[in-house]
Structure 1
Amino acid sequence: MADRSLKGTGLGAKSFEDEAGIEFAARQEISYDCPQKHHFTLVFAQEADIPALWECPRCGAESLRSDGERPEAKEEKPVRTHWDMLRERRSIAELEDLLAERLDLLRSGEVGPPQFARPSRSKKSA
């Protein structure tokens, strides 16, 4: 019983399972070259889609596959801003009318903080 004890091993640190009879998945090694002259190799499954770019583990730069396979250029849409989306819904004339309405409400004190309201101009009788 003493020769079967597992003294000195951490929990979950090591597997004592035998690798006999286990068939591993087919693998392939792919090399990448970094613009900073770093070279590294990664292991992928044989049927995996291999990325053309990978982040360099040493410097973080985008590395290209050593076999020279370039990534496909993706068609990028231009970024739509809030202004672009607003202009799809309203014309400049409509926006100017809305702005004038909101400024009138703000100046009259009906909306917004009280410090933006214009003081009423009442004439004092003497």
Structure 2
Amino acid sequence: MAERALRGARLGTQSFEDERGVEMAPRQDVTYVLPDGKAFTVTMADDAEVPTEWEDPRTGKIGRLADGAEPETKDVKAPRTHWDMLLERRSIPELEEILTERLQMLRAGEIGPAHLHRPAKTKAKTKSTTKAKSSKRTA
């Protein structure tokens, strides 16, 4: 086991390879300008698609491409809501008719949660039930 140990090296932290004979990928420097007029440079690959905006690594502000044109604005389509999709299938008078039918069914106890349709318990005790209970206790 001692034969395989690497002495004098920190494992995992050093590379013993050098850069001789290694050809770097072609690169380009892209300049971005911040709204306050300051510029910063980002190194990118030659074949990379250069974005029109980039965040400055020092300040966090968004810079625009120095020699680029204004970005194309895309038409933003408003998201369809549930109400929009419902109106595609039904008209307002139809929806009002369905609503009144459902409210009648709910009030009649045909639909809806069961706890809404249970008979209400009366909190006031009658004299006859209290007398019957007291007679049972004495017996």
Query: Do both proteins adopt the same fold according to a TM-score greater than 0.5, normalized to the shorter chain?
Result: yes
Equivalent residue pairs, number: 114
- Rg: which structure is higher? 2
Paired residues of 1:33 and 1:66 also in contact (CA < 8 A): yes
2:124 matched residue in structure 1: none
- TM, length-normalised to structure 1: 0.71
TM-superposition CA deviations, 1:38-75 (whole Å, max 9, x none): 53321111011100012333454432112243211112
1:50 matched residue in structure 2: 50
Calculate the aligned-residue CA RMSD, in Å.
2.7
Deviation at 1:32, TM superposition (A): 1.6
2:62 matched residue in structure 1: 62
Q: Matched residues in 2 for 1:41 and 1:6: separation?
A: 43
1:29 matched residue in structure 2: 29
Q: Matched residues in 1 for 2:14 and 2:70: separation?
A: 40
1:9 matched residue in structure 2: 10
The gaps in structure 2 that reach 5 residues or longer are 1-5, 120-139
The gaps in structure 1 that reach 5 residues or longer are 120-126
Letter in 1 for 2:28: Q
Say which structure is richer in helix.
2
Deviation at 1:114, TM superposition (A): 4.8
Go from structure 1 to structure 2 and tell me whether the alpha carbon gap of 1:10 and 1:105 turns closer, same or farther (over 3 Å shift).
farther
Moved more, 18-27 or 62-71: 62-71
Deviation at 1:99, TM superposition (A): 1.1
- TM, length-normalised to structure 2: 0.65
Q: Matched residues in 2 for 1:59 and 1:79: separation?
A: 34
1:79 matched residue in structure 2: 79
Q: Matched residues in 2 for 1:6 and 1:27: separation?
A: 39
